């Protein structure tokens, strides 16, 4: 019998190696996300994975589900009801339309052009990529805003839109996943309504209990196990009763903050530290799925997804801004700030592999999202900078990078 290394060893190596490469990448001004992906790729079956007999088995699915549950909880908890009221019509319109734009463009592009590239399973493939297309990585956009001290209407609206659109992306993804569960349209509608309704209800009940716990637990160290336990409980319940773990965790985050009231530090601060760890896990695991053959055979799909999503984001954001009477500056340039895509998209791609409908094509989905994440990480900040400079919101004085000065050679 062939001896495989223990799961803990694989995971430990991926996290440590990913983190080391990420830190090194930051020092030389390279995107950290790309370094995490490269760390995973190094341990993929086509490279060192085969030498060390690395196997990304079912344990990775469980880990991905829990990690995405944590991210969904944080996304749900980032809003309060009064904040929703203050956000304003224009931001909602831009966030909604740019998400719909990306989803629609990606779906149509793959559905119409997929057969030319000899892609099989066109409808599920188009649905899978469309459901991932809405999400945006806020970190890349915020880094550019910070670096150039950007300020003005485009910058403010951009910030609000990137904060909202992961929530919209997760809702669209969960709804799409619920619809694929049924065998007919009526059946699908019934399944989807049950899944979404149960997810929100379970999130609400668990949120109420979590808020009660956090109200009475004043030791910071004890709040963490309560919160993590609640997320695991909701994710587990979702798996057992077949409802959406992502929607349930988002409801848990949103409603626990609602029931507890104010700040939200007690509910989220202990978990926020985990966000980077979760993304390291996503990127290195996705990197470990890397396959040279899939990259080689599906380069056309990679380009198709990349350009269709960019066009959808640009057109959707402009339409959303136009419909609410935004200034011309906003209508023309806001879409450029919404191009980066990273962590949540990779997490969603990894999750799709667990669904029976997408299992067969999961390796294609993960590899395409992996490749486009790398491209978005490299060109996304350039898009953001371009849009902001065209809008006239970038100051000429660039902030000094926070790296140590190099000694003279």
Partner 1 sequence: MNIDDWLSEHPDLPDTISVDSSLIDILSIMLAPPFSKDIYIVSDNKRLVGHLSLKKIAHQLFPKYQAMHTRRQIIHRVTGGTVRDLMNAEFSYAKPHEELEDVFSLLLERDIEELPVIDDNSMLLGVVKFTSVLRYLVDKEKTDALCKL
Q: Site for partner 1 (CB under 8 A): which residue of 77, 270, 312, 316?
A: 77
Least distance in Å: CB of 281 to partner 1?
18
Part of the chain binding partner 1 (CB under 8 A), chosen from 16-24, 94-102, 107-115, 153-161: 153-161
Q: Site for partner 1 (CB under 8 A): which residue of 61, 275, 297, 300?
A: 275
Q: Does 26 bind partner 1 (CB under 8 A)?
A: no
Contact 377, 33 (CB under 8 A): yes
Q: Does 398 bind partner 1 (CB under 8 A)?
A: no
Distance CA 284, CA 282 (A): 6
Part of the chain binding partner 1 (CB under 8 A), chosen from 36-44, 143-151, 201-209, 289-297: 143-151
Angle between helices 185-216 and 265-272 (to 10 degrees): 100
The gap between the terminal CA atoms of the chain, to the nearest Å, is 55
306 to 365, contacts with partner 1 by CB under 8 A?
none
Q: Among residues 7 and 160, whose Cβ is nearest to partner 1?
A: 160
Contacts of 249 (CB under 8 A, 6+ apart): 68, 69, 70, 72, 73, 76, 203, 231, 234, 235
Three-state secondary structure call for residue 67: helix
Instruction: Classify residue 325 as exposed, middle or buried by CB count within 10 Å of its CB (0-12, 13-18, 19+).
Output: exposed
Least distance in Å: CB of 155 to partner 1?
9
Q: Among residues 40 and 343, whose Cβ is nearest to partner 1?
A: 343
**CB under 8 A, 24+ apart: contacts of 8-14:** 10/43, 10/54, 10/55, 10/56, 11/63, 11/281, 13/43, 14/39, 14/40, 14/43, 14/280, 14/281, 14/284, 14/285, 14/288
Part of the chain binding partner 1 (CB under 8 A), chosen from 49-57, 214-222, 235-243, 356-364: 214-222
Q: Site for partner 1 (CB under 8 A): which residue of 62, 83, 293, 403?
A: 83
Least distance in Å: CB of 80 to partner 1?
6
Q: Does 219 bind partner 1 (CB under 8 A)?
A: yes
Could you list the residues that contact partner 1 (CB under 8 A)? 74-75, 77-80, 82-83, 86-87, 91, 138-139, 142-143, 145-147, 149, 151, 156, 159-160, 162-163, 166, 214-215, 218-220, 260-266, 268, 272, 275, 402
């Amino acid at each position: 019998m062939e001896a495989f290394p223990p799961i803990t060893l694989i995971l430990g190596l991926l996290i440590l190696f990913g983190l080391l490469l990420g830190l090194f990448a930051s020092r030389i001004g390279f995107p950290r996300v790309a370094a995490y992906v490269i760390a995973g790729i190094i341990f993929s079956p086509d490279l060192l994975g085969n030498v060390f007999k690395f196997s990304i088995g079912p344990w990775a699915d469980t880990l991905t589900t829990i990690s995405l549950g944590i991210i969904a909880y944080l996304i749900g908890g980032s809003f309060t009801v009064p904040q929703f009221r203050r956000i304003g019509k224009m931001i909602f319109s831009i966030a909604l339309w740019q998400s719909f734009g990306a989803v629609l463009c990606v779906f149509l592009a793959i559905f119409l052009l997929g057969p030319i590239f000899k892609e099989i399973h066109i409808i599920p493939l188009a649905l899978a990529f469309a459901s991932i297309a809405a999400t945006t990585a806020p970190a890349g956009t915020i880094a550019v805003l910070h670096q150039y001290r950007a300020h003005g209407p485009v910058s403010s609206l951009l910030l609000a839109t990137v904060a909202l659109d992961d929530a919209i992306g997760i809702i669209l993804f969960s709804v799409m996943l619920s619809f694929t569960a049924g065998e007919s349209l009526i059946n699908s509608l019934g399944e989807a309504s049950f899944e979404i309704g149960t997810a929100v209800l379970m999130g609400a009940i668990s949120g109420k209990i979590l808020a009660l716990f956090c109200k009475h637990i004043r030791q910071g160290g004890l709040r963490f196990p309560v919160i993590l336990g609640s997320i695991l409980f909701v994710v587990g319940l979702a798996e057992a009763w077949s409802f959406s773990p992502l929607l349930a965790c988002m409801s848990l985050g949103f409603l626990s903050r609602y029931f507890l009231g104010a700040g939200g530090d007690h509910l989220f601060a202990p978990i926020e530290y985990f966000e980077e760890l979760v993304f390291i896990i996503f990127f290195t695991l996705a990197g470990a799925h890397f396959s040279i053959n899939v990259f080689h055979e599906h380069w056309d799909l990679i380009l198709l997804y990349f350009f269709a999503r960019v066009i959808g984001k640009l057109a959707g954001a402009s339409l959303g801004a136009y419909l609410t009477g935004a200034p011309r500056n906003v209508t023309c340039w806001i879409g450029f700030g919404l191009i980066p895509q990273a962590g949540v998209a990779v997490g969603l791609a990894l999750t799709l592999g667990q669904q029976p409908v997408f299992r067969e094509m999961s390796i294609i989905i993960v590899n395409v999202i992996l490749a486009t994440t790398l491209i978005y990480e490299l060109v996304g900040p350039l898009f953001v900078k371009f849009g902001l400079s065209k809008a006239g919101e970038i100051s000429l004085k660039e902030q000094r990078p926070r790296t140590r000065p190099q000694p003279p050679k």
